[in-house]
C-alpha cells in the first residue's frame, strides 16, 4: 500500500497511557505470584512475605516515579537525573506489553511506535542536549537513495553521492558539509550499530521508519538518539524521502551554539 507523504501528528499520550497500563498489568501479575507464594514463604518465616512484599512495593514505587518523570518531561517539568537514567530501562521492560495491550484495544502498532518516538524525542529535548557538530552522527537507511542510482553510497555518502537531486541523499550530504556532522547511509541495524561504535558520537539523529527507529533508539541507549520519520510515497523501503527542514531543525536544536554560527 502506498503511504502518504504527511503523517498525522503523533499523540504522546497514547504511548504514555499504554505504558501506565502495562505497569499496572505487571504489578497485578507480580502481586498474584506473591499472593500464591505467601503461604510457602510464611512457613519458612512469618517475616519473609512482608519483606518480599516491601521490596516489590519499593520497586514499583520507584518505577511509578519514573513514569511520572516521563510525563513531567512531556509537560516541560524538570525531573531528577536518576529517573532520566531509568527512563529507557522502564520503556524496554514494558514496551512489549504496551504493544500487546495496544493490539487488544485496536491500536495499530505503527501508531504506538510513532507515539513512542515523539515521547523519546521530547525527553531528549527536555534535557537540553548540546553537542559539538563533530560528535553528532546522522544515519539514514539506504532506501532513501533512488533505487535506480548506480552509485554505492553505503558507508561513504560524502564521497560517492553525485548530488543529482533525484533523491534526498544529496541534500543531506550538503547539510553535513555545511554543519559539520558525521553522515552515513546504512543497510540495517547491524551496520548502524557498527557505525555508532566506530564514530563514538555523543548523540545520534536517525532517519528511518517507525519500527527501525523504535528498536534503534532503545538499542543505543544510554546514547541519546533523536528520531525523524522517513516519508514513504512509494511504500516501505523503496525510494523513501525525508523532510529536510525537519532534519535541520532537529540538528540545530542539538548542536552547540558556536557550531551553528
pLDDT tens string 182-199: 999 998 878 888 889 999
Residue 261 forms part of a structural domain: no
Domain boundary among 126, 143, 169: 126
Kindly state the percentage of the chain with pLDDT values over 90: 43
pLDDT in tens, 25-73: 888 888 888 888 888 888 888 888 888 888 888 877 777 777 777 777 6
- Is the pLDDT reported for residue 257 higher than 80? no
List Cβ neighbours of 160 (8 Å cut-off, separation of 6 or more). Answer: 151, 152, 153
Q: Which three cell numbers stand for residue 166?
A: 533525484
Query: Residue 16 in 3-state DSSP?
Result: helix
Residue 250 forms part of a structural domain: yes
Q: Distance between CA atoms of 122 and 82, rounded to whole angstroms?
A: 18
Residue 209 binned pLDDT confidence (cut-offs 50, 70, 90): very high
- Is the pLDDT reported for residue 153 higher than 70? yes
Residue 4 forms part of a structural domain: no
Domain housing 207: 133-254
Strands (E), 103-193: 136-141, 182-186
Q: Which three cell numbers stand for residue 1?
A: 500500500
- Best CA proximity match to 229, nearest among 218, 239, 214: 214
Strands (E), 102-202: 136-141, 182-186
The answer on 113 and 147 residing in a single domain is no
- Decide: residue 253, CB within 10 A, 0-12 exposed, 13-18 middle, 19+ buried: middle
- Is the pLDDT reported for residue 120 higher than 60? yes
Residue 2 forms part of a structural domain: no
The answer on 21 and 122 residing in a single domain is yes
pLDDT in tens, 76-99: 666 555 555 666 677 777 888 899
Residue 54 forms part of a structural domain: yes
The answer on 110 and 17 residing in a single domain is yes
- Is the pLDDT reported for residue 116 higher than 80? yes
**Residue 80's Cα: distance from chain center in Å?**
20
- Rg of the chain in Å (alpha carbons): 22
Kindly state the percentage of the chain with pLDDT values over 70: 87
Phi-psi region of 67 (alpha: psi -120 to 50; beta: other; left: phi over 0): alpha
Which residue did the predictor score with more confidence, 176 or 71? 176
Residue 4 binned pLDDT confidence (cut-offs 50, 70, 90): very low
The answer on 143 and 117 residing in a single domain is no
Q: Which three cell numbers stand for residue 27?
A: 504489578
Q: Distance between CA atoms of 67 and 69, rounded to whole angstroms?
A: 5
Which residue did the predictor score with more confidence, 21 or 6? 21
Domain boundary among 83, 99, 126: 126
Number of structural domains, the chain? 2
At 1 the pLDDT is 38
Which residue did the predictor score with more confidence, 146 or 11? 146
Q: Distance between CA atoms of 165 and 160, rounded to whole angstroms?
A: 14
- Best CA proximity match to 244, nearest among 159, 140, 160, 124: 140
Q: Is the pTM of this model over 0.85?
A: no
Query: Residue 231 in 3-state DSSP?
Result: strand
- Is the pLDDT reported for residue 205 higher than 90? yes
- Please, which residues bridge with residue 137 across strands? 182, 204
Amino acid at each position: 500500500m502506498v503511504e502518504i507523504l504527511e503523517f498525522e501528528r503523533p499523540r504522546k499520550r497514547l504511548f504514555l497511557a499504554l505504558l501506565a497500563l502495562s505497569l499496572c498489568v505487571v504489578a497485578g501479575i507480580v502481586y498474584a505470584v506473591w499472593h500464591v507464594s505467601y503461604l510457602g514463604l510464611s512457613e519458612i518465616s512469618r517475616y519473609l512475605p512482608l519483606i518480599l512484599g516491601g521490596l516489590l512495593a519499593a520497586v514499583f514505587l520507584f518505577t511509578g516515579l519514573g513514569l511520572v518523570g516521563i510525563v513531567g518531561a512531556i509537560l516541560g517539568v524538570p525531573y531528577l537525573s536518576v529517573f532520566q537514567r531509568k527512563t529507557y530501562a522502564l520503556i524496554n521492560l514494558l514496551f512489549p506489553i504496551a504493544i500487546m495491550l495496544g493490539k487488544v484495544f485496536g491500536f495499530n502498532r505503527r501508531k504506538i511506535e510513532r507515539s513512542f518516538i515523539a515521547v523519546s524525542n521530547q525527553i531528549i529535548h527536555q534535557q537540553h542536549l548540546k553537542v559539538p557538530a563533530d560528535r553528532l552522527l546522522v544515519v539514514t537507511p539506504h532506501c532513501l537513495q533512488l533505487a535506480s542510482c548506480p552509485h554505492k553510497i553505503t558507508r561513504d555518502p560524502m564521497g560517492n553521492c553525485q548530488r543529482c537531486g533525484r533523491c534526498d541523499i544529496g541534500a543531506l550530504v550538503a547539510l553535513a558539509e555545511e554543519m559539520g556532522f558525521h553522515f552515513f547511509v546504512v543497510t540495517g541495524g547491524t551496520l548502524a550499530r557498527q557505525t555508532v561504535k566506530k564514530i563514538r558520537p555523543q548523540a545520534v539523529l536517525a532517519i528511518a521508519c517507525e519500527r527501525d527507529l523504535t528498536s534503534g533508539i532503545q538499542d543505543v541507549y544510554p546514547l541519546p538518539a533523536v528520531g525523524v520519520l522517513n516519508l514513504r510515497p512509494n511504500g516501505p523501503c523503496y525510494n523513501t524521502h525525508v523532510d529536510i527542514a525537519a532534519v535541520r531543525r532537529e540538528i540545530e536544536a542539538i548542536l552547540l551554539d558556536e557550531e551553528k554560527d
